[in-house]
Amino acid sequence: MRRLLSYFKFLLFPFTLIYASILSLRNFMFDRGYLKSTSFDLPIISVGNISVGGTGKTPHTEYLIKLLQDKYHLASLSRGYKRESKGFVLANANSNSYDLGDEPMQMNRKFPKLNVAVDADRVNGVQELLASEKGLKLDCILLDDAYQHRYIKPGLSILLIDYNRPIATDLVMPMGRLRERAAGKKRADIIIMSKCPIDLSDSEAKKLKKSINPLPHQELYFTSLDYAPAEAVFNTSNKLVNLNTIEKEFLGVLLVTGIANPAPLRNHLKSLCDEFKEIKFPDHYTFKDKDIERIETSFINLKSENKIIITTEKDAVRFLDMKIESKVLKDNMAYIPLQIKFQDQTNVQFDQHIHDFVKNFKHNH
């Protein structure tokens, strides 16, 4: 099997070489000014990654929203992946995940003061935001997943690298998981290695810093995922089992996800219960009625006296938009919000950097 896999990877090598060459040429054209990047007269912060799959962009973007929203009028702009709408869409109270995509809809529900917009064309998206009724009041725009969108030039670029997927030893797609060569990290102002172990040692952090080799102007941070207490998906869920008060041997958990990498959440839940089942769907999956029946059956078949269905906050958005009638799900489904935690209280330095960028940009323009 291993030999077959190696042969398959060998067949992909020419495609990787062609794709990497095209990307390198594209970046060269932008670096030399043959392709133009558009700048805007307000602070724009980009949060993105250099590889495919989940690196924790959403919780890091939410961290920025919480950091800035009490002082500034904010907007977020993303592509709106897997949405059914086209072009520029500005969220309102009646928006749903079909209009915006699951992650923008999550932010729209979670942060009422945030102006949430989606547009695959980021330059047009910013122009539309500024031309909208709310545009005159905007102080800062957060660009989600825009590291490779070089037609727009952010004032501050944050690059996320997954601790579990080091880019130094990875390859460009399709052989590897990189969206572009690892050298593309040079464009970042801030590099965050995400999903680190909570107990990351100083010696390992030094090794990681050496492998990333940040440039003199780049700041490097290490963050971990932190799981907040579970919250009911539906307002009717008033009988939810408390994950933190029931002993492992008396607790059963059914995990239902439609995300790129559920492994960290899976490991977290397995540490809390003795009976564990999982139903895994593809990333950004649109749940169907037959899936609800499958979830119901799997939950009912859990043998534990105390049991619960756990999903992610992003998946919860899609479940809510389905107008589900299932009493089993309504009474027993919860999501676990994700938070990020900076290593060694370096959040103080990070927060100051972000505040200084927004404040100084406004003073200098």
Annotated binding site: 51-58
Q: For the beta carbon of residue 119, count every other beta carbon within 10 angstroms.
A: 21
CA distance 46 to 49: 10
Phi-psi region of 196 (alpha: psi -120 to 50; beta: other; left: phi over 0): beta
CA distance 218 to 237: 46
CA-based torsion, 68, 87, 287, 161: positive or negative: negative
DSSP per-residue letters across 4-22: HHHHHHHHHHHHHHHHHHH
CA distance 236 to 330: 6
Residues annotated within the binding site for ATP are: 51-58
- Phi and psi at 191, nearest 5°, equal -115, 130
| Residue among 238, 229, 252 at smallest CA distance from 309 | 252
Q: Are 151 and 63 in contact (CB under 8 A)?
A: no
Cβ-Cβ contacts under 8 Å for 96 (sequence gap 6 or more): 105, 321
